[in-house]
A and B are shown apart, each in its own frame.
Chain A
Amino acid sequence: MSFREALESEKFVVTAEVGPPKGTDIDEMIHHIELLKGKVDAVNFTDNQSAVMRMNSLAGCKIALEHGVEPILQMTCRDRNRIGLQSDLLGAYALGVKNVLCMTGDHVSAGDHKGAKSVYDLESVQLLRVVDALNNGKDMSGNDLKGSTDFFQGAVVTPEANPLEPQLIKFEKKVKAGARFFQTQAIYDIEKFREFMNHARKFPVKILAGLVVLKSAGMAKFLNNFVPGIVVPEELIEELKAAGKEKALDTGLDICARHIKQLKEEGICDGVHIMAIGMEDRVPEILERAGLL
């Protein structure tokens, strides 16, 4: 069953994330792809995440397809203008990529090429419209395509943005622009996420809750202080502290599994998106603990 069919069939969907390597050695990426094979519905390949230059997302997607894993192409507007974006989308579709996640992209100032010129010829809402046009056989200028795409297009949303209202307005614009699914920024407070879902449920889109595994109390504090839109509640930080240094990671995996279980059992959202960030090999274990394997 494809990612799209899984979401449309009301199955509780699981996606994970793999970052392509900085360099041409793809052994580790293939190892992660193999580990996730058969255990998740699709794998996102990041697009120069945090503006750090790496192998492109499309190559990751193609390699995943060769290994029998369905990819989600992450596409940011930071590095390509409208010609480059459309051209890469056509190429991706021809190579068998069916899912695309449209994002604005972290600013170059966050990355390792700070002197680069940011593009942002389009932004996420406009990119979603472009995908919709390509799906309907037209390019952005209205020219006919010889063979259209049939992408299942998604977007991102930050349920814990502060202030939240401007983010919700943009969420609504993304829905109108054709987003069919959303993968959220990491969430840790299930009750607050439930409130967001009460709003999101008014729209005909599927929502996957973003989850980032907490490795330590220090990491949780770092996320709170330095990563926009992520709020780790104090009680989780206490739980990690109480576990002690040796058991902190194990507790982090437990918290993640517990959240997945609750989100599924209470039908809060349509699935989860696990961003393991360097711990891709632990994803199967999280899914086991959550009772999904």
Chain B
Amino acid sequence: MIITKKKDFKELMGNIRNYRSFFLIGCSECASLCGTGNEEAIRDMTEALKAEGKEVTGGFVPKTGCQVLGTKKELKAFKDELGRTDCILVMSCGAGTQTAVELFEDKAVYPANDSLFLGNMTRFQMFDERCSLCGQCILDKTGGICPVTTCPKGLLNGPCGGMQDGHCEVSPDIPCAWVRIYERMKKLDKLQELCETVVEAKDWSQGQKPRALSTREKKEKTRS
């Protein structure tokens, strides 16, 4: 999921100082799991804004804030509230914020959160980055552990000389990705494979921004 963090409230207030009335949009997916865009977060934000003398016309948690048409449909029920709003505050990730930008061409849209990374929730309110969306998954070669993401240098062929007692030179809190990969491949009896595979330099053009994907054409063809 996309991990988000609430922006510093003072910073946020500075950003939206010129607006008076707000409509809040959360998200029931990642931002809810992160506690940044669920019903409770919307309630808290409403109170905080009111305490600052702002008006809150309403708030809503769409099912999937990055799904443009679905969110548009859900927001139809709030036509009046939105009409009385001069700023939309989006409490999900950057993608959710840009859904609102697409839906409300003539209204100010501001992010309430910082989008951090793609990660896993390891425990309640604890998140680890696990995937860099590099566009060329090599988990098949590394025992399912991603060195592109979990090694600060993104090394593809083994640990660097900075590894100490299984930890990273960048911080003792980071376990060495390559020691983890080694241990897992050993358990799976695949060390031979690990020795023999030299992972080629990545083709970063696969991650050239902005990326887009459409699988529509293919499906239509299959149907016909």
How far apart sit A177 and B194, CA to CA, in the bound complex (Å)? Answer: 15
User: With a CB–CB cut-off of 8 A, which chain A residues contact B210?
Assistant: none
In the complex, residue of chain B having the shortest beta-carbon distance to the beta carbon of A122: B201
User: With a CB–CB cut-off of 8 A, which chain B residues contact A185?
Assistant: 161
Question: Which of A139-163 touch B at CB < 8 Å?
Answer: 140, 156, 158, 161-163
How far apart sit A123 and B152, CA to CA, in the bound complex (Å)? Answer: 12
A82 in contact with B201 (CB, 8 Å): yes
Question: Which of B149-163 touch A at CB < 8 Å?
Answer: 152-163
B201 in contact with A107 (CB, 8 Å): no
A167 interface hit (Cβ, 8 Å): yes
How far apart sit A166 and B167, CA to CA, in the bound complex (Å)? Answer: 13
B164 in contact with A229 (CB, 8 Å): yes
Question: Which of B23-41 touch A at CB < 8 Å?
Answer: none
**Shortest beta-carbon distance, A291 to chain B, in Å?**
30
A176 in contact with B163 (CB, 8 Å): no
- State which size class the interface on B falls in: 20 to 34
Q: How many contacts between A and B, using CB within 8 angstroms? A: 93
How far apart sit A118 and B161, CA to CA, in the bound complex (Å)? Answer: 17
**Shortest beta-carbon distance, A131 to chain B, in Å?**
13
B→A interface (CB under 8 Å)? 152-166, 169-171, 176, 178-179, 181-182, 191, 194-195, 198, 200-202, 204
Sample of 24 A–B contacts (CB below 8 Å): A82-B201, A107-B152, A107-B162, A107-B169, A109-B152, A109-B170, A109-B171, A121-B204, A122-B201, A140-B201, A161-B159, A161-B161, A161-B163, A163-B166, A163-B182, A166-B158, A167-B161, A167-B163, A169-B191, A170-B157, A170-B158, A170-B178, A173-B195, A228-B169
